[in-house]
Amino acid sequence: MRKLSMDELGRKSLTEFKAAQKQPIVVILDNIRSMHNVGSVFRTADGFLLEGIILCGFTPQPPHRDIQKTALGATESVDWWYVQNTLDAVIDLKSKGYKVYAVEQAQGSISLEKFSGMNNAPLALVFGNEVEGVALEVIAASDGCIEIPQEGMKHSFNISVAAGIVLWEMVRTKQSNI
């Protein structure tokens, strides 16, 4: 076995990426503090060819070298928007036909492996602040909550890890239903 070279990976150019059919998934970042977490989510969104990212509240915005440090150029490929109030972003996406789910531990949340919300409707996933999680008013306005099963002592994942887990599951299950 040998490691593939960059040329062998067949990655899209920026032009090809922009023109490609995207996964109908938008990520909403609700008051994320860490620029490294923001950059990591950009890189994950690029890797899964997602529709875009909405940065809300005090979530840092590109360009910034600390975002770029983990995004590795994904802020150029992935479409993104800034909306001051996360609730406004949720309401806007719902009016456009998106199903909106907060990734949060909440009463009545759906365990990730049981979630089947990727049918035909476009999907928006809200990831919350590193300490406070998703704001209560955003949870209330969402169509539901998705929870990642955990068995250890800690009760949460880093937001960039949670985004990777949830987004992979959304893309994987969508592809297996085709």
Question: Model pTM greater than 0.85?
Answer: yes
CATH of the domain at 81: 3.40.1280.10
Amino acid at 174: K
Three-state secondary structure along 129-143? ECCCECCHHHHHHCC
**Does some domain include residue 42?**
yes
Give the separation between CA 118 and CA 26, rounded to whole angstroms. 12
Output the tens digit of pLDDT for each of the chain's 178 residues. 999 998 899 899 999 999 999 999 999 999 999 999 999 999 999 999 999 999 999 999 999 999 999 999 999 999 999 999 999 999 999 999 999 999 999 999 999 999 986 667 899 999 999 999 999 999 999 999 999 999 999 989 999 999 999 999 999 887 655 4
Number of structural domains in the chain: 1
User: Residue 96 is part of which domain span?
Assistant: 20-147+156-176
